[in-house]
C-alpha cells in the first residue's frame, strides 16, 4: 500500500512543477514585454526592472498554483486511468479513497501554505510594486508617461503629450491644463519640453519651449491674456504621488490583521466595511482552491480515463475557468451586499468541492 501511495505522489509531483512553471511563464510573458520596454525604450535601470519583476510574481502564483495542482492531478490520474492501472488497483480490493488520500493531504498542505502566502507575501509584494512604480516616475518622469493620454499624477495640473522621446527625455506638442475654481481653466501649450527630475525635493521641473500661456489679467482675474514664450519653467509637485491614496495601502496591500483593524475602525465610524470583509474571505477561499481542485480533479481524471496531455490541459482550463467565473460572480454579489461575504466568497469552493466529493463518493462506493 505504501508503495502505491508513493507511486501516486511521484506521478503527481513532477507534472505539478512543470505545470506551475509553464503557467507562471505564460502569465509573466505580457509583463516581460512591458518590462523590456522600460529598459530599452524608457531608460529605466535594470536593477529597478528586476525588482518590478520579482514583485509581480507572487500575485501570479496565487492563481497559477491552484491551476497547476488541478492540471497535475488530471495528468497523473488521467494517465493511470487511461492505462487501466486504476482498474487493476481497484480489482485487487484496494479502496480508491485510500490511494488518493495522499494527494488530498498534499492539496491541504498547499492550501494552508497559500493562506500564509496570500496573507503575508502577496500584500507586501503588491504594495512594494506600486511604490517602485512611483519611484520610477519620480526619477525618470517620461518613463511613467504615455503619449496621447491625459496624465493627472501631478498636483494641480493635467498633462497631455502627443509624442515622447524616452531616450532623450524630450516631449513634443505639450498641453498643460490647470483647473481653477470660479475662473476658466488655465492652458499652456508648447512645441517642445523636457523634464528635470529633483528626487530629493520630491519635485520635477518642466522646461517648455516655443509656446503660449494663458495668464490671468491682474485687473480682472476671471479674464486671461495670451503670453508667448521661448522658454518657460514649471515646478510640478510630486507629493500627490507619494502621499495620496495612490500610495496609501489598498485592501490588496493589507494583511488579514491590517484588514481586521481597518474593519473595526470603519465600523466605529459608521462605514460599511463589506469590501474589506470580502477581501479577507477571498484570500482564504482562493487558497483552499488547491484542495478543492485535487478533490474534483482526481474524480474527473478517473471518470474521463484520458491520458492525452492536451485533453487534460484543456479540461483543467475549463474547470479553472468555471471556478474563477464563479469567484468573480461571488465577489460582485458580496460587494453589492446581496449576500454575506463569508458565504458568497466560499460558494465556488462549496459548489466545486461538493461536485468533487459526490463524484469521489460514487467512485469509491462502486
Q: Which residues pair with 253 in a beta bridge?
A: none
Alpha-carbon gap, residue 74 to 15, rounded angstroms: 9
Among 215, 362, 205, 227, which residue's Cα sits nearest to residue 298? Answer: 362
Cβ pair 335, 274 in contact under 8 A: yes
Counting Cβ atoms within 10 Å, is residue 97 exposed (0-12), middle (13-18) or buried (19+)?
middle
Measured between alpha carbons, how far is residue 333 from residues 87, 89, 129, 279 in Å?
43, 45, 29, 13
pLDDT in tens, 301-337: 888 876 677 788 889 999 999 999 999 999 999 988 8
Q: Give the pLDDT confidence score for residue 176 in this predicted structure.
A: 86
Q: Can you give the length of the chain in residues? A: 366
Counting Cβ atoms within 10 Å, is residue 88 exposed (0-12), middle (13-18) or buried (19+)?
exposed
pLDDT in tens, 85-142: 777 777 677 777 887 888 999 999 999 999 999 999 999 999 888 888 777 766 666 6
* Residue 184 zone, left/alpha/beta (φ > 0; ψ -120 to 50; rest): beta
pLDDT per position in the chain (366 positions), as tens?
677 777 778 888 999 999 999 999 888 887 777 777 666 655 677 888 888 889 989 999 999 999 999 999 999 888 877 777 777 777 677 777 887 888 999 999 999 999 999 999 999 999 888 888 777 766 666 666 667 777 776 777 888 888 887 667 788 888 888 887 767 777 889 998 888 777 666 667 888 999 998 877 666 766 777 888 899 888 876 554 554 345 678 888 899 999 999 999 888 888 889 999 999 999 999 999 999 999 999 989 888 876 677 788 889 999 999 999 999 999 999 988 899 999 999 999 999 999 999 998 888 776
Q: Whole-model pTM?
A: 0.75
119: which DSSP letter?
A: I
Cell digits for 346?
466560499
Amino acid at each position: 500500500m505504501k508503495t502505491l501511495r508513493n507511486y501516486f505522489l511521484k506521478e503527481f509531483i513532477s507534472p505539478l512543477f512543470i505545470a506551475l512553471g509553464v503557467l507562471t511563464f505564460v502569465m509573466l510573458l505580457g509583463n516581460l514585454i512591458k518590462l523590456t520596454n522600460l529598459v530599452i525604450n524608457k531608460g529605466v535601470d535594470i536593477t529597478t526592472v528586476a525588482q518590478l519583476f520579482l514583485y509581480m510574481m507572487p500575485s501570479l502564483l496565487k492563481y497559477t498554483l491552484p491551476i497547476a495542482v488541478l492540471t497535475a492531478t488530471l495528468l497523473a490520474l488521467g494517465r493511470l486511468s487511461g492505462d487501466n492501472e486504476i482498474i487493476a488497483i481497484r480489482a485487487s480490493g484496494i479502496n480508491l479513497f485510500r490511494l488518493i488520500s495522499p494527494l488530498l493531504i498534499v492539496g491541504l498542505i498547499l492550501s494552508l501554505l497559500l493562506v500564509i502566502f496570500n496573507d503575508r507575501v502577496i500584500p507586501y509584494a503588491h504594495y512594494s510594486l506600486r511604490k517602485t512604480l512611483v519611484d520610477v516616475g519620480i526619477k525618470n518622469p517620461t518613463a511613467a508617461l504615455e503619449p496621447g493620454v491625459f496624465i493627472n499624477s501631478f498636483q494641480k495640473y493635467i498633462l497631455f503629450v502627443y509624442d515622447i522621446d524616452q531616450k532623450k527625455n524630450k516631449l513634443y506638442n505639450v498641453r498643460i491644463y490647470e483647473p481653477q475654481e470660479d475662473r476658466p481653466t488655465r492652458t499652456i501649450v508648447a512645441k517642445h519640453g523636457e523634464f528635470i527630475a529633483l528626487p530629493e525635493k520630491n519635485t520635477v521641473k518642466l522646461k517648455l519651449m516655443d509656446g503660449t500661456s494663458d495668464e490671468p489679467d491682474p485687473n480682472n482675474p476671471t479674464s486671461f491674456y495670451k503670453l508667448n514664450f521661448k522658454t518657460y519653467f514649471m515646478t510640478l509637485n510630486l507629493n500627490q504621488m507619494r502621499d495620496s491614496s495612490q500610495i496609501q495601502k489598498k485592501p490588496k496591500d493589507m494583511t488579514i490583521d491590517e484588514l481586521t483593524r481597518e474593519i473595526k475602525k470603519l465600523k466605529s465610524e459608521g462605514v460599511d466595511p463589506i469590501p474589506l470583509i470580502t477581501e479577507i474571505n477571498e484570500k482564504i477561499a482562493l487558497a483552499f482552491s488547491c484542495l478543492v481542485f485535487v478533490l474534483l480533479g482526481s474524480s474527473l481524471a478517473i471518470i474521463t480515463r484520458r491520458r492525452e496531455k492536451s485533453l487534460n490541459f484543456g479540461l483543467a482550463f475549463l474547470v479553472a475557468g468555471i471556478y474563477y467565473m464563479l469567484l468573480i460572480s461571488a465577489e460582485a454579489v458580496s460587494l453589492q451586499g446581496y449576500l454575506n461575504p463569508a458565504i458568497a466568497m466560499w460558494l465556488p469552493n462549496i459548489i466545486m468541492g461538493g461536485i468533487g466529493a459526490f463524484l469521489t463518493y460514487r467512485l469509491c462506493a462502486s
